[in-house]
A = this chain, B = another copy of it.
């Protein structure tokens, strides 16, 4: 007699071996400066994914027809971010060594760094699609170089110019915007994604990593995050973005910065879950 465990994302019950995509959680929020709590995101997303259907009418595809394994969470050490980043990188390499794609659920945005770093070793022409309300381009934050406010700058350090595409950005230091826009180190699409088609055109032959800081969404639909920034895109915009990405050579992706306890309605978690479903269906 078999019991029912809602302990993986809905429809992702295939084994590691038979799957093409491996979902895993990175429940770390140790450098968050304002409101912590993204550590609670992966488990909450799994449980609430059962409020979704596995079928997407938008894409007319069904998770049940996919080969996806939900591997659970990495066990992370609070108070030692270096060890955290090493462990995440090691697990991303483990996935790639088995010819599978990593799909990570954060945690804060800093967890993107080790996965992109691991993918870059395999794909030296990797490009990064970065969706966020924030620039994340600081050189340091209060003297620290590793933080969710510096993560994209850290990635630029090895990817270099012309490889990072940023969308939805509406908050940062004057210096960060200057560095990105005036000095041209990144492709910066402020506020929305009106230049996404142009970007897709440029990168359509490259391996792509997609990092979605969910605070790109307007806090009306996504209040459950550490630094809510009014003036963001709608959920329908996000569906539109994901449909535009369909067909790209996406070699890895993540969804970060859900802090579910800040949203007692549960809507932020439902939003993150539905974005994850759509993302899985275009991988």
Task: Determine if A1 and B94 form an interchain contact, defined as CB atoms under 8 angstroms apart.
Answer: yes
Across-interface contacts of A174 in B (CB, < 8 A): 55, 60, 62
A243 CB to nearest B CB, Å: 12
Decide if A265 touches B79 in the complex (CB within 8 Å): no
- Bound complex: CA A235 to CA B221 (Å): 13
Given the known interface contacts A1-B91, A143-B83, A267-B228, the answer about A50 and B34 at a Cβ–Cβ threshold of 8 Å is yes
Q: Is residue A254 contacting chain B, with contact meaning CB distance below 8 A?
A: no
* Inter-chain contact B266/A30, CB cutoff 8 Å: no
Min Cβ gap A259→B in Å is 10
Number of copies: 6
Q: Which residues of B contact A53 (CB under 8 A)?
A: 171-173
Residues in chain B near residue A172, CB distance under 8 A? 53, 55, 57
A264 and B264 contact, Cβ closer than 8 Å, known pairs A219-B221, A221-B218: yes
- Which stretch in A67-75, A117-125, A244-252 binds the other chain? A67-75
Contact residues in B for A50 (Cβ distance below 8 Å): 34
Binary contact track A222-251/B, C-beta < 8 Å → 1, others 0: 011001111100011001000000000000
Contact of A235 (CB < 8 Å), options: B74, B90, B231: B231
In angstroms, Cα B58 to Cα A72, docked, is: 33
* A80 x B143 contact (CB < 8 A): yes
User: In this assembly, does A9 line the interface, its C-beta being within 8 Å of a C-beta of chain B?
Assistant: no
Quick one: closest B residue to A271, CB to CB? Answer: B230
Is there a chain B Cβ closer than 8 Å to A262's Cβ?
yes
* Segment at the B interface, from A35-43, A158-166, A193-201, A202-210: A35-43
Verify B267–A230 contact, CB threshold 8 A.
Answer: yes
Are the CB atoms of B5 and A190 closer together than 8 Å? no
Kindly supply a per-residue 1/0 record for chain A positions 118-149, scoring 1 wherever the CB is within 8 Å of any chain B CB and 0 otherwise: 00000000000000000000000111101100
Given known contacts A80-B144, A235-B218, is B230 in contact with A270 (CB within 8 Å)? yes
Residues A170 and B57 in contact, CB atoms below 8 Å apart: yes
Interface residues in chain A, defined as those with a beta carbon under 8 Å from any beta carbon in chain B: 1, 3-7, 24, 29-37, 39, 43, 47, 50-53, 55, 57-58, 60, 62, 71-75, 77-81, 83, 90-91, 94, 141-144, 146-147, 169-174, 177, 190, 218-221, 223-224, 227-231, 235-236, 239, 261-267, 270-271, 274
